Structure 1
Amino acid sequence: MAQPARAIVIGGGIGGLAAAAALHLKGWSVTVLERAPALDPVGAAISLAPNALRALDVLGIGEEIRDLAAWQGDGGLRTPGGRWLSRSSAEAAAARFGGPLVLLPRATLVDRLAALLPPGTVRTATTASLADPGDRNRPARVTAGEEELEADLVVGADGINSRVRTALFPGRPGPVYAGFTTWRLLIPVPGAEFASHETWGRGRIWGTHPLKDGRVYAYAAAAAPAGERAPDDERAELLRRYGDWHHPIPAVLAAARPADVLRHDVHHLARPLPAYHAGRTVLLGDAAHAMPPSLGQGGNQAVEDAVVLAHHGPDLAAYTAARLPRTTAIARQAVRVARLSMTGNRAAVAVRNTALAALSQAGPALFLRSFDGIADWRPPYASGRHHAGTQ
């Protein structure tokens, strides 16, 4: 009996694990190499739109993840004083895109993806590098510690500072600072009842969302010099910047401890790559198309990448053709939305808020319109336990 084709995935984040699971379902023998000592994801939570949920249907876990949906009733966009600029609802999103928006802890998704893989697939505490991308006549080679491994396919899922990307495209511009920094926290907030919302101020935004497990996911972003950090702690910095904003923001900050707050500057790939593959090696997720988080699509696009890659198998040119135009367009839209939300000019903010309120009265909320052409994506094939809306 012929041996199954072998794939090595470099990076054990959401995109890497989804790719490993999708390839495994297609009959590949897969090894995941993760340099961290454990699969502990960076980031408090992730929002999964219907496009990513359909990709997870291919892996057989879409329904399980949908059951974690917590957004109910009205939500939308607000000003720091609490005025609603635009309203939307979970029901409206589901009707528009054929499914819900699901917010869940990143660790939950990582655990579900890892559980799809055979024991021993994931090797943690393993630093890997691409030694040879391979070609039609020879396998790709990966150095992992003292070992050198050969594979029919190498997947570079090693994040925004991808070493695989640098090896494939030396001399290409790397990630650039987007001009703003972010904070995230995932905590219980006793007695806090509120509608899910994002709030836009001058050069600052805040989002607060309830999760099904009873905790609250909150995030903030503000224009700031790259590398700047609070002189005391990041909770104190959030209090200075957002402490007088509307409910439930003060309650969230009161419930937080300094150790609960994660802060990261935002970088993105401003110049698209010429391709997402070379030889037998392919890139996905942030390694291929890192984008600002303003559409919440970074992880979603990585999951899409994974199932499309498995669909095309060794035809990596077809994968690039399917993924590069779509992800480039979404990344550019994310940059535009980030500029709109993060503007610090007082007059521009007034014009923006007036326009948002008027547009909301005229049709679906900006929150929903911004997902047109994104959340309605469907995978090229279906497998596992899929949702009725995938066909």
Structure 2
Amino acid sequence: MGSTAVVVGGGIGGLAAAIGLRRIGWEVTVVERASVLDDAGAGISLAANGLRALDELGVGDLVRGAARGQYNGGTRTPEGGWLARLDGAVLERAVGTPIMGIPRSTLHQLLRDFLPAGTLLTGVEAGPVQQTGPGTVRVDCGDTVLDADLVVAADGIGSRARSLLFPAYPGPDYSGSTVLRAITDQAVALRTDFELTWGQGAEFGHIAFQDGRVEWHAVLNLPAGTRFDDPLAELRRRFDGWHDPIPALLRATRPGAVLHHDVNELRTPLPSYAVGRIALLGDAAHAMTPHLGQGACQALEDAVTLAAALAIEPTVEAALARYDAERRPRSQAVARAARQAGRMGQQLSAPLAVALRNTAMRLTPSRAAMRMILRHHDWAPPRLG
């Protein structure tokens, strides 16, 4: 089997794939089109499955050292009443860890720093990926041409590689929701580590970081492309009267810190995550809505599973067939569950439907709720060594 790979995309999935491939002895080059790595994004929650994948990659302890455990919190109504509580200590006993909150920029930096200097090429636009022979794949990067035994396309929801491999694929769909998010400029005193609050067609949530700052997000049912002249002022208007600490979090945020993105997903399942010696990974393969907090965790699972398959199988083609067989059913099932969670949670807007949902949540036994969480969190990674 060959031992050189090009990873297209320097996000969480691409960097994790590069780390995994290096752990099994491969030479890896990561190409990232951004010339300045500003790590756009706010915060991220890592569940047990993502943390176990990071452990197998060798970076789990580093990430835990920079993250904060989410031990107390749950889901509330705009008036402040509790719909459900989640005890992180109970989750920790079940799967070995609570959910961990970390700034996305910190996670990116930790993954980059774990790779040797020169592995990541920035400001490089990857062109078409071509199978140039029975055992060679080529990536045209302008003035540079990279030949390898494997290409890992971790180039996001708008993946160019996916479009080339599956030209008839319809591409991303708008979920019906748009998200605004930011990290507060300073620490904010909180009574909980994390919360979600569901109103009518709206959600406000937060996760606390190790340094006391807080990531918050607001998800709204709006037409695709909707934007505001003053996003922070618009959120203060929309969430006026919602319970504490929502007003305090908005007051602790600079207007220029607010990010706004439409929530898109790959609603049509891909028929395969691999063609020849090209593998799709992360959002390029299974971009999902954020309602289960599993997008990054699934990309991390991809990275470990891909490296393990390449370490076991006699050929790249056999390894990618194994990777596809192991990852496609699980990741697509998680994507369906995330979509359903959004429809039954944040996206509900009819008053009667919201009232019925709230009653059902209050009546759901805590053990049943925990079983639903463990369905996605309790994943055991393949061993890399």
TM range (shorter): over 0.9
2:285 to 283, 288, 291: 288
2:373 to 368, 371, 374: 371
* Deviations 1:328-376 (CA, angstroms, capped at 9, x unpaired): 10000000001011110110000000000011xx23374x443222111
**Does 2:340 match 1:343?**
no
Paired amino acid for 2:118: G
For the residue of structure 1 that corresponds to 2:115, the secondary structure is coil
Counterparts of 2:253 and 2:160 in 1: how far apart (Å)? 35
The two structures have a TM-score, normalised by structure 1, of 0.93
1:111 to 109, 112, 122: 109
Aligned to 1:358: 363
1:146-295 correspondence runs (5 A): 146-195=143-192, 196-230=194-228, 232-295=229-292
CA contact (8 A) 1:4 1:29 kept: no
* Deviations 1:135-168 (CA, angstroms, capped at 9, x unpaired): 6x23111100222221100000000000010011
Moved more, 181-190 or 262-271: 181-190
CA RMSD of aligned residues (A): 1.6
Aligned to 2:324: 320
Show structure 2 runs of 5+ residues with no match: 311-315
Moved more, 213-222 or 330-339: 213-222
CA contact (8 A) 2:184 2:254 kept: no
Counterparts of 1:73 and 1:119 in 2: how far apart (Å)? 37
* Deviations 1:73-116 (CA, angstroms, capped at 9, x unpaired): 53111000000111112101112222221110111111111112
CA gap 1:369/1:264 in 2 versus in 1, 3 angstroms: farther
**Does 2:336 match 1:332?**
yes
Aligned to 2:138: 141
Q: In the TM superposition, what is the alpha-carbon distance from 1:213 to its structure 2 partner? A: 1.4
Q: In the TM superposition, what is the alpha-carbon distance from 1:209 to its structure 2 partner? A: 1.8
Show structure 1 runs of 5+ residues with no match: 384-391
Aligned to 1:95: 93
Percent of matched pairs sharing the same residue: 48
Aligned to 2:313: none
Aligned to 1:44: 42
Counterparts of 2:128 and 2:367 in 1: how far apart (Å)? 47
Aligned length: 376
For the residue of structure 1 that corresponds to 2:189, the secondary structure is coil
For the residue of structure 1 that corresponds to 2:162, the secondary structure is helix
Q: In the TM superposition, what is the alpha-carbon distance from 1:229 to its structure 2 partner? A: 0.7
Counterparts of 2:74 and 2:67 in 1: how far apart (Å)? 16
Counterparts of 1:35 and 1:8 in 2: how far apart (Å)? 13
Paired amino acid for 2:154: A
CA contact (8 A) 1:189 1:252 kept: no
The two structures have a TM-score, normalised by structure 2, of 0.94
